[in-house]
Amino acid sequence: MPELPEAQTIVNDLNKKIRGLAIADIWTDWPKYFKRSSGGFDGFKKEIKNKKIEKIWRLGKNIIFDLSGNKEMLIHQKMTGHLLVGHWQIKNNKPIFTEKGPLAEKVNNYIHAIFWLSNDKMMGFSDLRKFGKILAVDKKNFDNLKDVKNIGPDPLTPKFGFNEFKSLISKKRGPIKKILMDQNVVSGIGNIYSDEILFVAKIHPLKMAEKLDDKELKAVFEAAKEILKKAVKLRGTSTSDYRDTAGLAGRYGNMRLVYQREGEKCPNKCGGVIKRLKINGRSAHFCPHCQKL
């Protein structure tokens, strides 16, 4: 699932490529994306058609479009979704990419929604599993959306400091891996980066959050900032379906320390071997030598 670095990469790209353009029309073969909008797909289309894209920003893993007319559009890419900027033709209700290059890669060819924009631009949503979410609301109702109402602070916001992080984590009980992925505690961190953060911090994923001392919490806090900033710089992780708006893979996947490296030697050269365990149905990768329980 795209996490903070992947969503931020998409946001950065879209602000460069389509900010200031208007939404001329929209097509889909999967109306379920729009079931949260009033009136479903038809209602969504009426809300956003001819609206100008004034700004694109990120809230946790959500991509938010500020539109003219005091409208907001929210897109959550979910497990396999990613937004692309290119050109497609609809033939027999199926999008056909009309150019050569990375966008023609198979992983980018599960287009289930297309936004026609002014200036001959198009934005497509490729989503193999079709779990994505797209909705539009009046700006005055945005903060009341359940998707954003209780979302935790952004770990990359400069004003988000250690004392706030400590206060949030200390109030929770359970494995620190699970707590880091709770979007109501801290937003944007998922399976990939929680593994990487805990490895750098040398904290076992099963260690109880309420038992972490100040030194350990500070290590997790600093590791989160370090890993997430690095992953944004490298344009995300593409061990699965994620691609940027040009259809290109992120480069952090080549730098992964433990995520999906089960059975490999620890990058710290401690003699340990990366292990994997399950926590609430999610995998956790760690070095048992560096991250003792």
Choosing from 58, 61, 71, 256, the catalytic residue is 61
User: Chain-centre distance of CA 101, in angstroms?
Assistant: 24
Nearest Cα neighbor of 125 from 146, 145, 95 is 95
CB neighbours of 252 closer than 8 A, spacing ≥ 6? 5, 230, 231, 234, 235, 236, 237
Choosing from 78, 230, 276, 282, the catalytic residue is 282
Q: How far apart are CA 70 and CA 51, in angstroms?
A: 9
Sign of CA dihedral 227, 65, 42, 115: negative
User: Chain-centre distance of CA 118, in angstroms?
Assistant: 27
H and E: helices and strands count for the chain = 6, 12
Q: How far apart are CA 170 and CA 256, in angstroms?
A: 28
Query: Which residues, listed in sequence order, are joined to residue 117 by a DSSP beta bridge?
Result: 23
Query: Would residue 282 show up in a list of annotated catalytic residues for this protein?
Result: yes
Query: Would residue 292 show up in a list of annotated catalytic residues for this protein?
Result: no
In eight-state DSSP terms, residue 64 is: E
Nearest Cα neighbor of 238 from 135, 116, 105 is 105
Query: Would residue 100 show up in a list of annotated catalytic residues for this protein?
Result: no
Q: How far apart are CA 84 and CA 102, in angstroms?
A: 11
Query: Would residue 2 show up in a list of annotated catalytic residues for this protein?
Result: yes
User: Chain-centre distance of CA 137, in angstroms?
Assistant: 21
Catalytic residues: 2-3, 61, 282
